[in-house]
Structure 1
Amino acid sequence: MTTGARTYHERTKHSPRSVREGAHGLDFDNKPTPYKEYEELPARDLAERVRPPQQPALSAIAESTPSGEGAQTPDLEAVTNLSYYAAGITKEIGRRGRSLLFRAAATTGALYHVDLYVVCGDLGGADENGSDGEGNDLGLEAGVYHFDPRTLSLDVLREGDHRDVLAAASDYDSVREAPLSFVATSTWWRNAWKYEERTFRHAFWDSGTTLANLLAVAHALDYRAEVVTGFADRPVVDLLGLDPEREAPLELVPIGGGSDVGSADPADLEPIDPATAPLSPNEREFPLIHEAWDAGTLEDGAAAASWRSDRPAGSISARDPGDGERVPLEPVDSETASSRPLHETIQRRGSCREYEREPISFRKLSTVLDRAVRGVPMDVRRDDDPPLSFVDAYLLVNSVDGLESGSYHYHPAEGELELLQAGEFRQEAGHLALDQRLGADAAVCLFLTSDLEAVVDALGDRGYRVAQLEAALTAGRCYLGTYAHLDLGGTGLTFYDDVVTDFFAPRASGQTPMFLYTMGRPA
């Protein structure tokens, strides 16, 4: 049985009534572990010594490495950087006698249900002996690995070069040419313990923020990288030894180039089913999640290539601008922008839990939007696409120096905000954000919305994944752009779906919110 994207989205919308009537207690004795722990697999340690990417965060999120460049082959140190700054444990905070471990990217409920896998050929070291010249092994043997953030190591799932499986499943040049690809997955129960059926939404929210980090690090290290959303799902499931009713693949991210694996059909895979530790005493299933995932699956590489190429040109979701007052953004140039390095920004990033009701700088807001909303590199986007292809952007401005409070439609291609309605809307902002005070206290609320009917008509049920992902990748870049500034903080929030649409109507009529990102001065 499958449940189509539009049906799934409708069934998982929040409203004041659904939240009031659907509240459930959390059984902390049954809370799942935030890690996937293999019980008997060998592990490969990642590099002990890492040179983190020094490029400023604002540059790393704004720039991608064009096709044909960044084709060098990563080594073990690069794999370590990419894994750690995307999904590693970056800080430990003591709270009420407990030690809380936080990861590099924001995730709903700090439940960390997104895992990264590595599929690579032989990755050599810096010299012909596979080392950095000082006796440190920087090579990694061809194989299929799972990244374990607890130990900063790779669990060995398969030995040998299996990149041809991903190449055949995607029928996409960047995957075929990449010496290394990451696969992002979601383990449903690790998030559904709290969020139940909404976990399928969160799979793309949380993989999107994770992959925003991964892309930024890859580009800071001068590797070509993009997110591949079109691939045959079952071969990837088999490659990683997954049960998609419990854990399923979401995206591929090829890194680097110049290492063509050819187009021959991959050899038959020996099935694997490695034992893992239980997530919790009583793991519950939510069939709607798997049904929604299954509805968007693709059969083979040819289907993936056709799905990718058949999409119409231009923005599928954006509303045409109106005749409202236009306010040009005022981003700072690269010479005067914050030079905070990407690795320090990721280390600093958090999810703000309290805002001061103080204004933020219009130039800093402009800079974050300018750098973050330039179009994320995805296989289903085209070179001539606008910065947002599958979502639209609206702002609710509460407190920004030099910018009138009110609601705005953001036009990133022109770098302009269009005023929809002037006024003080703090109370409304809090209500839209599931009646959370953070929405009311934030200086700005950024709503990324999608015309889901148009997206699904153009791309089928898999288009729902793309719209959610573009919104989340954009929000992930906003996180990094925000935390590149010492006096700014940000966080994602949940929302009342139809109430958001109604608030921004008539401009947003027919659209539905995908992601809400807030920013302001942290208390």
Structure 2
Amino acid sequence: MNEQTQTVIDYHHRTKHHLDRYAKGPETLDWDDQPDPFRRFAGCESMPLPKPGAELPILFSELDNPQAIAPQALTLESLGLLLELSFGLAAWKQYGPDRWALRCNPSSGNLHPTEAYLINTDSSLMKPGVYHYVSHDHHLERRCRFADDVDNTGILIGLSSVHWREAWKYGERAYRYCQHDTGHALGALRYAAAALGWSVELLAECADDDIAALLGLDRQDDFKPDERESPDLICRIHTASGTGTPFEIETLSETLQSAAWSGRASNLKAYHMYKWPIIDEVSAAAAKPRTGEPLWQAAPQPVVTLSSRQTATALIRQRRSAQHFDGKTTLPLTDFYRLLSAVMPARKPPFDLWRWPAKIHLFLFVHRIESLAPGIYALPRDPEALDKLQNATLADFDWQPVSDILPLYQLYMGDCRQIAKTLSCHQSIASDSAFSLAMVAEFGFGDQPWIYRRLFWECGLIGQALYLEAEAAGVRGTGIGCYFDDSVHEILGIKSDRLQSLYHFTVGMPLEDTRLQTLPPYDHLRNKEAR
């Protein structure tokens, strides 16, 4: 184990919640200190995108077979729709004088640390260069200008994180949540691209330094020190227009040598009352160099048919996090199986972009599922993990298979609602739902500490699939980042670091808060135009 890996492991253990204490966070929250969820760059060219809100006839169920979807042409309209459905606004909520935006990509605490960038090399689409996407205004900011004769490698999407946006509320544990959000954003991008008939290639070989240079994140003078962005990942979008020349990081890096940058990141309007240096330490330790990555692809999986007739665009825009559940609705067994089949590694969105075998497995607390006894269940997402999970958990677990179409096993029969609630920081959303679950990782990465981030990204991908599939089933999901780590392990009988719980999720029938007013996502742009 190298020093960087040890730093990552130490961070993970230090930021666990315990029944008698929580991970270090702010003692108070000053709401006047809350960071601005919308980043803008001053002093660079602004480029409006076509009006948001376009619909596509593609059903959400058709995304099960993305190869059969006729690809849309690459235009400013389709590009704008990709960005909107991936990272744009889904609605505004208002309660009294307070008003806040919801987005298509979820975020813990609705804090949105993830920033999205477009790299365009197609001069027929728009001027080649690096653009920052502003979800509030649905426009692009041109941060960097390429030469017009740059080799056309198509379009790339890069993601970064402003760690402090999460740390403002969650303190030291925030680095974990930023990685969750990256996974959710990656999943949102994949679903949006699939609705357009496009595919997404995760360029896993790239180093963080490569991504930082491509997106301009290494231009430290352009950012306030406490509000800098950390590089996460970069993807290539394959569209109907073809892919252009093969992508080479060296070629694009050479293009940057003659590129002209402009713009400075706006202040996020906060005072930075608390400092969390451990986040910078783990971020540096988990930095990724250039690597060779396997061309791994999941084996074909059986698909449980989805009966929903909603379009993909409508369903993506209606995704919400449930705040409360009714505590009584029973989920049909077919819907439950559909939800679980959707999170298995497969050659369909969002997991068809994932480059590695599954390392995240589900332990479920079933409360109200039709024809399924309440209790604890397990869903190994890789058949080779079954023996590992059996050997690492309680010897008294039954491990009885309960399905012919899914690797679902019953471990314990009994009412687990109070257990689920207690483990998820005493939150009733984990017990009043139809089921909740813990995402448990095969927790080992040797001298490759950046894999720690990928484990959380994989959790986020699973969470994004659960969010959308829950909506399609007529219910709702919620990601849970607050849970008592080692208490989860104790309930499951896990005694070593080889398995670690990284994320919780819950699904059920939501109770709507009628005090909240829901407003259209981009009415503020229409009102601005009217004035």
Out of 11-20 and 389-398, give the one that drifted further: 11-20
CA distance 1:70–1:186, change in 2 (3 Å): farther
Partner of 2:115, secondary structure, is strand
- CA deviation string 1:354-385 (max 9, x = no partner): 1011211111111122123334134632xxx4
Following superposition, which runs of at least 4 residues in structure 1 exceed 6 angstroms of deviation? Answer: 69-73, 161-164
2:169 counterpart residue number = 194
2:232 pairs with 250, 253, 275, which one? 250
CA distance in 2, matches of 1:262, 1:330: 33
- CA deviation string 1:428-461 (max 9, x = no partner): 00011111111111111122111212xx12x710
Asked whether the equivalents of residues 228 and 379 of structure 1 are also in contact (C-alpha less than 8 Å), the reply is: no
2:337 counterpart residue number = 366
**Residue type of the alignment partner of 1:496:** F
Q: Which runs of 5+ in 2 are unaligned?
A: 384-404, 512-531
CA distance 1:399–1:507, change in 2 (3 Å): farther
Alignment of 1:38-437 (within 5 A): 38-48=41-51, 51-60=54-63, 62-63=64-65, 74-122=74-122, 124=124, 139-160=125-146, 178-242=153-217, 246-256=228-238, 257-261=242-246, 263=248, 265=251, 266-267=253-254, 268=257, 272=261, 274-283=263-272, 284-299=274-289, 303-305=290-292, 308-309=293-294, 332-334=304-306, 337-358=307-328, 359-375=330-346, 376-378=351-353, 380-381=355-356, 385=357, 389-412=358-381, 415-437=406-428
- CA deviation string 1:40-59 (max 9, x = no partner): 21111111266433322244
2:478 pairs with 483, 491, 497, which one? 491
Q: Which runs of 5+ in 1 are unaligned?
A: 125-138, 165-175, 316-328
CA distance in 2, matches of 1:452, 1:117: 31
- CA deviation string 1:252-280 (max 9, x = no partner): 12101521156454322668473222113
**Residue type of the alignment partner of 1:482:** A
Offset of residue 200 of structure 1: 1.5
CA distance 1:179–1:72, change in 2 (3 Å): farther
2:401 counterpart residue number = none
Offset of residue 240 of structure 1: 2.2
Offset of residue 74 of structure 1: 2.4
Identical residues among aligned pairs (%): 22
Partner of 1:399, secondary structure, is coil
CA distance in 2, matches of 1:421, 1:476: 27
Out of 263-272 and 201-210, give the one that drifted further: 263-272
Out of 19-28 and 254-263, give the one that drifted further: 19-28
> How much is the aligned-residue C-alpha RMSD, in angstroms?
3.1
CA distance in 1, matches of 2:410, 2:362: 13
Instruction: Answer yes or no: is 1:482 the counterpart of 2:451.
Output: no
Offset of residue 26 of structure 1: 0.5
Partner of 2:42, secondary structure, is coil
Asked whether the equivalents of residues 52 and 84 of structure 2 are also in contact (C-alpha less than 8 Å), the reply is: no
CA distance 1:507–1:513, change in 2 (3 Å): same
2:501 counterpart residue number = 513
CA distance in 1, matches of 2:295, 2:345: 23
TM-score scaled by length of structure 2: 0.80
2:452 pairs with 439, 442, 464, which one? 464
**Residue type of the alignment partner of 2:215:** L
1:15 pairs with 6, 14, 18, which one? 18
CA distance in 1, matches of 2:354, 2:304: 30
1:130 counterpart residue number = none
CA distance in 2, matches of 1:501, 1:442: 22
CA distance 1:87–1:297, change in 2 (3 Å): same
Partner of 2:217, secondary structure, is coil
CA distance in 2, matches of 1:419, 1:443: 16
**Residue type of the alignment partner of 1:427:** Q
CA distance in 2, matches of 1:65, 1:449: 31
Asked whether the equivalents of residues 447 and 513 of structure 1 are also in contact (C-alpha less than 8 Å), the reply is: yes
TM-score scaled by length of structure 1: 0.81
Asked whether the equivalents of residues 35 and 165 of structure 2 are also in contact (C-alpha less than 8 Å), the reply is: yes
CA distance 1:29–1:258, change in 2 (3 Å): closer
1:319 counterpart residue number = none
CA distance 1:355–1:146, change in 2 (3 Å): same
Asked whether the equivalents of residues 229 and 466 of structure 1 are also in contact (C-alpha less than 8 Å), the reply is: no
CA distance 1:181–1:465, change in 2 (3 Å): same
Offset of residue 202 of structure 1: 1.2
**Residue type of the alignment partner of 2:315:** T
